[in-house]
Amino acid sequence: MIPTIKISLVVLGVLCSVATVLPLLPLRDWWIRAFDFPRLQLAIMLGLILALLGGCALYSGVRRTWVAAGVALILVASLGYQVKQIVQYTALVSPQAERATREGAEQITLIVANVLIDNRDASRLLTKLRAEQPDLLLAVETDTWWREQLAVLDADYPYRVLRPLDNTYGIALYSRLELIDPQVRYLIEDDVPSIETRVALPSGAQIQLYCLHPRPPTPFENLASTERDAELLVVGAAAKRSPLAVIVAGDMNDVAWSSTTRRFQRISGLLDPRIGRGIYATYHAKFPLMRWPLDHVFFSEELRLVEMRRLGRFGSDHFPILITLSHEPGEREGHEEVPSADLEDRVEAREVIEDARDKHDPDSPK
């Protein structure tokens, strides 16, 4: 029985190690990029496998062979790599984005909610909105039904950008604050909208806001991550060029620790409030063992974190996320090192964007 258990554990451990290595390949195929997501789950599995193999060795007697040593080394190295990726999203490292320090500074509160197009109970989300009273609501997967249900917000949120769609990529932005020059843009795919606008604070200061929900790489949609990656990088480059404080928010269908999201951060120079604080997994709301952070808010160094919370379930497969930021343009010092791009990042970003645009619009300007 013990040899059978050991063989089964070794096979499972090797599969977990393969799943650890696959995302390191410079390929965009959906089945490779899928292994970017379950790093925490893989780390837990690898830890359990090593513990159980150790228990089996103690029970049946330790046999030191090159094969056993090689397997143990592979599993330990895989576990170490996964832990290295995850540990940044714990209190064991310094936060990348600093807490607010200036009393009386203007604040802005945003809720990001993927409503799930098949969710036909809007009351639970509306209850949360009444309790939290955010300045802005970004809702994605909104169709005509959701537009009708959220119409009760119109009186309190006079500034709106609405693009309901039946393809799960509808998007809606509701704001108490004035929106200046709001635009719905189709950055890569002609059926996947995003929103670009400036938000006017009561003092007259403005914040540049980008709202995204790119299509993920799956066997049922895009077979590669090219379109998703390109949309993130296009917005990252625009954020870097903006002279204003910047917020980028949305369901980005990517995890915080993926190579694409990290390149997006370096290209944009934006901060991730999760680093040094927690994972804040927002998907899947109904399966606790399979959760990862897909809904994000990144922001520039002129902004500081007041509060970030994952709110409770409301019938969607995503949890909403709430963030309050303080606008402190004279307090740039204090953040951990702001991400910056090198030549390799810029070249790779340009290649990804060109590949995506060639695929969807071969005549588009490069």
User: Domain ranges in the chain?
Assistant: 2-87, 107-356
Query: Given this model, what pLDDT does residue 366 score?
Result: 47
Please check whether residue 141 is in contact with residue 116, taking contact to mean a CB–CB distance below 8 angstroms.
yes
Query: Given this model, what pLDDT does residue 69 score?
Result: 79
Task: Classify residue 240 by burial, with Cβ atoms within 10 Å: 0-12, 13-18, 19+.
Answer: middle
**Percentage of the chain exceeding pLDDT 70:** 94
**Helix (H, G, I), strand (E, B), or coil: what is residue 64?**
coil
**Alpha helices (H) along the chain:** 2-21, 30-33, 39-60, 66-87, 123-132, 144-149, 226-241, 259-268, 343-360
User: What pLDDT, in 10s, does the model give residues 151-188?
Assistant: 999 999 999 999 999 999 999 999 999 999 999 999 99
The label of the residue with tokens 């006079």 reads: 158
User: Rounded to an integer, what distance in angstroms lies between the CA atom of residue 364 and that of residue 366?
Assistant: 6
**Helix (H, G, I), strand (E, B), or coil: what is residue 185?**
strand
Within 8 A by CB and 6+ apart from 213, the residues are 114, 140, 141, 169, 171, 192, 194, 250, 251, 252, 253
Per the document, the length of the chain is 366
What are the backbone dihedrals phi and psi of residue 357, each rounded to the nearest 5 degrees, phi first?
-70, -35
Query: Given this model, what pLDDT does residue 18 score?
Result: 96
Listed as ranges, residues in the chain with pLDDT below 50 are 366
CB < 8 Å & 24+ apart, contacts of 99-103: 99/304, 99/305, 99/306, 100/304, 100/305, 100/306, 100/325, 100/326, 100/328, 101/304, 101/328, 101/331, 101/334, 102/304, 102/326, 102/328, 102/331
Query: Given this model, what pLDDT does residue 64 score?
Result: 61
In words, the CATH class of domain 107-356 is alpha beta
Q: Which residues lie across from 322 on neighbouring strands?
A: 111, 309
**Helix (H, G, I), strand (E, B), or coil: what is residue 117?**
coil
